[in-house]
Amino acid sequence: MLRLMIVDDHPVVREGLRGMLEADPGITVVGEAASGDEAVARAGELRPDVILMDLRMPDGDGVSATGRILSERPESRVIVLTTYETDQDIVRAVEAGAAGYLLKDTSRADLLAAIVSAARGETVLSPSVATRLVTRMRAPVTESLSPREAEVLSLVARGLTNAQIGKALFISETTVKTHLLRVFGKLGVSDRTAAVTTALDRGLLTR
């Protein structure tokens, strides 16, 4: 009998997962948590074999909670279950020690199989997540952005024009354009929108 804990800040999601998973005779849901901090505390009390962890929650997100739980209880297996699949989110979760990364549109059968596989020590990934990781690993190494380039791009992400960025940073509009051209070259893109999207996906900018 696998001991499972569900962590999600939405009660309806926790209730739905509990009802769906407890129908399986090989799984017992030993508890729930609604935040990262609560998950850390309850994991120590409940000693679950597998934890389904939402990614974005109040009072400690899923990634930080995963790292804290596994530092205290390395025998537990954490599967991130989320709606988000950016490169940054996936890599952060894997680096924190998550045994799996699944999307919330995963079928009941696939979710049950993933829980059993994770309990055995296997890594479980949604197909689209696996594709993103493979693509990321195969992609050529890109240069990191300089602090000024990141600063300029962060203002682009906020919707500022080149002229507004120049005023904000006390540089000329021409210098802003020069920084952006360098950013485009490093990221392999040709416009502002693609630069912001690519930088977010690669973790070079935060939302």
pTM, rounded to two decimals: 0.69
Give the chain's domains with CATH numbers.
Answer: 2-138 (3.40.50.2300), 147-202 (1.10.10.10)
pLDDT tens digits for range 141-177: 557 899 999 999 999 999 999 999 999 999 998 899 8
> Residue 61: pLDDT above 60?
yes
| Enclosing H/E stretch for 101 | strand 100-103
pLDDT tens digits for range 10-45: 999 999 999 999 999 999 999 999 999 999 999 999
Mapped onto helix, strand or coil, the DSSP state of residue 19 is: helix
Residue pair 153/181 in contact (Cβ under 8 Å)? The answer is no
Order across the sheet with 2-7: list the strands. 27-33, 2-7, 50-53, 77-82, 100-103, 124-125
pLDDT band at 191 (very low <50, low <70, confident <90, very high): confident
> How is residue 146 annotated by DSSP?
P
pLDDT band at 139 (very low <50, low <70, confident <90, very high): low
Among 97, 42, 24, CA closest to 64: 97
pLDDT band at 85 (very low <50, low <70, confident <90, very high): confident
